[in-house]
Amino acid sequence: MTSGAYKVLVYGYGNPGRQDDGVGVELAMIIEKECPNIQADYNYQLNVEDSLRIAEFDAVIFIDASLDAVEPFEFMKIQPSHDITFTTHSMLPNSVLSLCQELYGGCPDAFVLAVRGYEFDFAEGLSPRASRNFSKAYDFLKGLLLEPSEETLSHAAISKKI
Amino acid sequence: MPRKITIEPVTRVEGHGKVTIQMDDNNNVARSRLHIVEFRGFERFAQGRPYWEMPVLVQRLCGICPVSHHLAAAKAVDVIVGAGTGEGLTPTGEKMRRLMHHGQIFQSHALHFFHLVSPDLLFGADADPAIRNVIGVALEHKDLAVQGVMMRKFGQEIIRATAGKKIHGTGAIPGGINKHLTPEEKDEFLKGKDPLNIDKMIEWSLGALDFFKGYHAKNAEMLDNFAVFPSNHLSLVRKDGAMDLYHGVLRAVDSEGKKILNDVDYQDYLKYIGEEVKTWSYMKFPYLLSIGKKDGWYTVGPLARLNTADFIPTPLAQKEFENYKAYTKGKPNHMSMHMHYARLIELLHAAEVMKELLNDPDLMKGELVTKGPKAKEGVGLIEAPRGTLFHHYRIDDEDKIVMANLIVSTTNNNEPMNRAVNYVANKVFNGKKEISEGMMNRVEMAIRAYDPCLSCATHALGQMPLEITMVDSSGNVLGKKTR
């Protein structure tokens, strides 16, 4: 597997201590382990400093659990936007892109892999249904990252606004 | 016709909160209430788990301030393993934890000021929310936005170096810490390429204070009169009365500054603090038992900490503390918007403490862990960015948790946040027939001053963080706004 000249960051976020909320982190961790030429990162949630992190890449794939994604997952291209949540505590991927654009003069191509989740209680590990979605999402992602390019990622994306 | 105005964030799992403003027949505010759904399930979940898991386990609670929960839990567990109540750790153990904690305070305060508060100050409460946000700041005041990003990053790197991991950090363990700081890490923080070094962080912290003071000079009327009400204040202080965000004794002062909780051992907090349940809110209302439910409520957080402390033990922050105290002639400050001033003084203090610690050789050598006679119960308190955080555990003979009690900062601030909302509601909603963007934002500003932890640990795609619904007495929706 190679990243070629097109530098891709896979960024999973969520809380692995809350069951399916950790699906993004788990996917990013397995990509980090299995795909050494792809850079992966993960955290509880997105925040302002991630605008700096993503600025180094040609493309970023954000991965998160979703309550309403079509099973087993959706993959979509996203654009920068000013949507800001009520509190300081997290940012939407679109907002991170927008901040990156304003601060660093441009932003990478960006995609969201939204994996359908079901259970969000205090526990480690994915629910059985989310585990199945995880496996399918991993296969999809691994294939996508074989020879990533703007064209291949965009082609794979479903045009759907979050 | 009496009307009810509801401001309701709709989130997926927890952190639900809403503001309900009940209007009377004369179109004036009859009553306002802030509801935040506190997630108490964790306390039950902890039961039956081994006590030594707690410092890692509690990070499931919150993806926003996992470090604060990590350290409060570690402090409670320290007592159980016989390592004392904050003073019994090895110098390395205590100092590494202090560095982690001040990194957390620093990044949290920087994020709050630069990316949440500064848009309100720069663009005004009535500005279009499409502009009045961090991206608007980036467009119009790029230097401030960049500083906020880099200060947050610096604090996060301190946390990574001390806690070990971004997610579910393991740095603090029962009785100490699990690693030293490496010389390379120390040098990077002290002498790293601009701007990611501690001297630049101190310089920018001073700059943020200058920005706030400059703004205050032009807008004192607004800042000094927005959500002002008398309150008791509670925090940890060092035994000599100094500000100490990691450890100390519990002190409370009344609205005039008289001590009403006189530097007591927090292991005995149940002797001093009760939690009232009200039918209309899931979140409890803590109060000082000696004063009672009606008047014993208190404020925690930056404003409270500056109102309880006698001094700040770092020179630059102390100098600013003197200006802060002089403004209210030595009396407690009750101006909600001065919470931001207090937060910036703490930002500077945290940067100074980090510099002091980074120059301390104990971080790179020495014993990491200490233990002593085991106990069945332990209480850990810490001054989290948003205020005093309580963790209390009791274990059985098999080392399993049989009781866990947590009082988080946002719970401690339940009553003052309600008062702040009520103050603003009475100022801006009386006589109004619909909610304007400016009205909505002023309510948010009152809540935001306390930086409550609403959104919390889970955040899957598709959430709707804030919704305002306005209904009349018959339940007819008069208007709705979402954020």
Q: Which domains does chain A have, with CATH numbers?
A: 8-156 (3.40.50.1450)
Work out the average pLDDT over B3-27: 57
For the CA atoms of B239, B243, B246, B247, the dihedral, rounded to the nearest 10 degrees, stands at 10
Going by C-alpha positions, the residue among B259, B266, B211, B229 that lies closest to residue B244 is: B266
Q: What is the pTM of this model?
A: 0.92
Instruction: Report the pLDDT value the prediction gives residue B473, as an integer from 0 to 100.
Output: 62
d(CA B61, CA B39): 9
> What is residue B436's predicted lDDT score, i.e. its pLDDT?
82
pLDDT at B406 over 60: yes
Q: Which residues of B touch A16 (CB under 8 A)?
A: 167-168
Instruction: Say if residues B107 and B101 touch (Cβ distance below 8 Å).
Output: no
For the stretch B150-163, pLDDT in tens is 999 999 999 999 99
Work out the end-to-end distance of chain B between its first and last CA atoms, rounded to an integer number of angstroms: 27
Q: Which residue has the higher pLDDT, B167 or B397?
A: B397
Kindly tell me the sign of the dihedral angle through the C-alpha atoms of B72, B73, B76, B82. negative
Contact map slice: B 406-465 vs A, CB within 8 A = 444, 448, 451-462, 465
Task: Report the distance separating Cα B394 and Cα B380, nearest Å.
Answer: 12
What's the average model confidence in pLDDT over A114-141?
A: 93
Mean pLDDT in residue range B33-60: 81
**pLDDT for the residue numbered B3:** 53
How many of the other CB atoms lie within 10 Å of CB of A88? 23
CA angle at A20 for the pair A17 and A22, rounded to the nearest 5°: 55
pLDDT digits (tens, 9 = 90+) for B224-267: 999 999 999 999 999 999 999 999 999 999 999 999 999 999 99
Report how far residue B321's alpha carbon sits from residue B482's, in angstroms, rounded to the nearest whole number.
39
Task: Report the C-alpha gap between A159 and B255 in whole angstroms.
Answer: 57
Q: Indicate the pLDDT class of residue B87, thresholds 50, 70 and 90.
A: confident
* Residues in B 42-81 with any Cβ partner in A closer than 8 A: 42, 45, 57, 59-61, 63-64, 66
For chain B, count helices (H), then strands (E).
16, 16
Is the pLDDT at B29 greater than 90? The verdict is no
Q: Tell me phi and psi for residue B103, to 5 degrees.
A: -65, -40
Q: Which residue, among B458, B466, B483, would best test binding to A if mutated, counting the most A CBs under 10 Å from its CB?
A: B458
**CB pair distance less than 8 Å for A16 and B167:** yes
CB pair distance less than 8 Å for A48 and B149: yes
Cα-based angle B451, B198, A14 (whole degrees, multiple of 5): 45
At residue B9, the pLDDT reads 36
With a CB-CB cutoff of 8 Å, which residues 322-341 of chain B face chain A? Answer: none
Instruction: For residue B120, count other CB atoms closer than 10 A to its CB.
Output: 20
Percentage of chain A exceeding pLDDT 90: 67
